[in-house]
Amino acid sequence: MTNTGNSETIIIMNLSIFRLILVFCDIFSIVSGFLLAYYIRFYTFIKVSTEIPGFGLYLFAVPFILTIQIIVFSRSGMYDSNRFDMKFHYIKLIEGISFSTFIILSISFIFREISYSRLTFFIFIFTEFFILIFFRFIVLSIKKRLIKKNIGRENILFVGCSEQGMDLIQRLDSEKYKLYNIMGYVATPTDPVNEKNRDLKCLGKISENHLEEICIKNNISIIIVAVSCYSNALIWQIEKGTAQLNIQLRIVTEFGDIFTRNIYIEEFYSELTMVIAHSTLGTDQRYIKDFFDMFFALIILIITSPIMLLIAVIIKISSPIDPVIYKQIRTGVDGKSFEMLKFRTMSTDAEVNTGPVWAEKGDIRVTWIGKVLRKTSLDELPQFINVLRGQMSIVGPRPERPVFVEKFKEKYPTYLFRHKIKSGITGWAQINGLRGNTDLEKRLKYDLYYLENWSLMFDIKIIILTIPELLFSKYAY
């Protein structure tokens, strides 16, 4: 790489400086947004019924608000993503602002010694959002321009050219704003005959022990190992060849169905072992999730009790001799069966001739009131009782009937991982349009992603995004 390229990379520090810029922009946006909200609330057309509180009182709250919001923004991944689309940032900001505002208002409610205007915080939500979006648009626009000019991109070297490696290269090349230059690959003895690698430049063979020289010559920042057959000797050879260089080493594994992102090293009887955890939910996290579920379910049942009573009356009037609530055996956490509750939407003899099958569009077994309930998902309301019983969660993989579980686990061995947590009323797959009789493999991928990436904020995000999915889903029938 030429000196010019090196200087450009040094100047913008491989674009990592943009993360720092975003943080500073967010700090400015939060502070200015809060102060602007204070001004709008007390010094504009909005009526003030009491004496205007001192500016110092609100200035005192700024460090606490700033700390909470920056932590929430950071934990939600707003500073770690390489995403350029503004839609992604809109959603992330809405999630972060909603969750942090909930925390701030909860704290202000507990500590009643100092009273703040709730309207100020409501105005603050909008002022900071628009200021945050404004600065993000500017920063991302600058970043896009630099990326297009090939400034700040990192150089990648592949060791090996397995199918998985070539698929990764295609995905990297398909990005509109490419963050990486793929310099080529170093051949290994186990490389398969692969048509996909014809256009990929071969920079040498691993057996020639020129890896360090290749990395220096091409200014490599990342090495991606993509071979069909791994060995400790190969990994050690790569590590030894790059020991003097500041290079990140990544391995593309073919064992995606087994290995997950939650892998850590732990000592076991004086030996270092790799621990594979298929969920981020430890004991403490499960308590938090259970408490949130119970609280949320109770609130929903209280709010919707008049609606549920009305639905029950209509179902009973339309079919006096049949039950209002339909109980169906589903498989839940740890593979245990439970009775999932729903408002009855079909005739009681719906599966006498067909056996267990999914509902289809225009299904003649569905009653007239059932069509309305299914389209609006109001038939799912009794499942909040399942949540209070501890059988289900608000968010999680949707529970399936045992007959389907037996069928699916034979075809997809990782399907049973879904049962490591409680089943949910809604889930990550459902809000992405995968409801009912849809692509099972895609649903499974979304469910496993949720399992591996759980957080309370992730649950809140799914709950918020469930609302438009309920209203506009084309698979609700």
Same domain, 165 and 243: yes
The H-or-E segment that residue 440 falls in is helix 440-452
Q: Is 56 helix (H, G, I), strand (E, B) or coil?
A: helix
The residues pairing with 187 across neighbouring beta strands, listed in sequence order, are 205
Lowest mean pLDDT among 137-141, 256-260, 419-423: 256-260
Rounded Cα distance, 157 and 210, in Å: 13
Rounded Cα distance, 106 and 217, in Å: 56
DSSP 174-218: T-SS--EEEEEEEE-TT----GGGTTSPEEEEGGGT-HHHHHHHT
In the prediction, which pLDDT does 47 show? 75
225 token code pair: 């190992």
Count up the domains in the chain and report the number.
3
Q: Which of 121, 148, 175 is the last residue of a domain?
A: 148
Tens of pLDDT along 12-25?
444 567 778 888 99
Tell me, yes or no, whether 277 lies in a domain: no
Same domain, 25 and 127: yes
Q: Give the closest residue to 77 by CA, choosing from 427, 461, 472, 474.
A: 461
Between the two ends of the chain, the Cα-to-Cα distance in Å is 59
Task: Write down the residue that tokens 């991302």 correspond to.
Answer: 140
Same domain, 186 and 109: no
Q: What's the DSSP call for residue 336?
A: -
In the prediction, which pLDDT does 31 show? 93
Supply φ then ψ for residue 212, to 5 degrees: -60, -45
Same domain, 169 and 134: no
Strands (E) across 166-311 are located at 180-187, 202-205, 220-225, 248-251, 263-268, 271-276
Same domain, 291 and 416: yes
198 token code pair: 């014809």
Tens of pLDDT along 66-80?
998 988 888 777 776
Q: Which of 204, 236, 254 is the last residue of a domain?
A: 254
Range of the domain at 31: 3-148
The residues pairing with 182 across neighbouring beta strands, listed in sequence order, are 156
The whole-number average pLDDT for the span 215-238 is 83
Tens of pLDDT along 98-155?
888 888 877 776 665 557 778 888 899 999 999 999 998 898 888 888 877 777 778 8
Rounded Cα distance, 236 and 126, in Å: 53
| Contacts (Cβ under 8 Å, ≥6 apart) of 63 | none
Q: Is 251 helix (H, G, I), strand (E, B) or coil?
A: strand
Q: What is the CATH number of the domain that holds 179?
A: 3.40.50.620
44-53, 185-194, 223-232, 451-460: which is most confident: 451-460
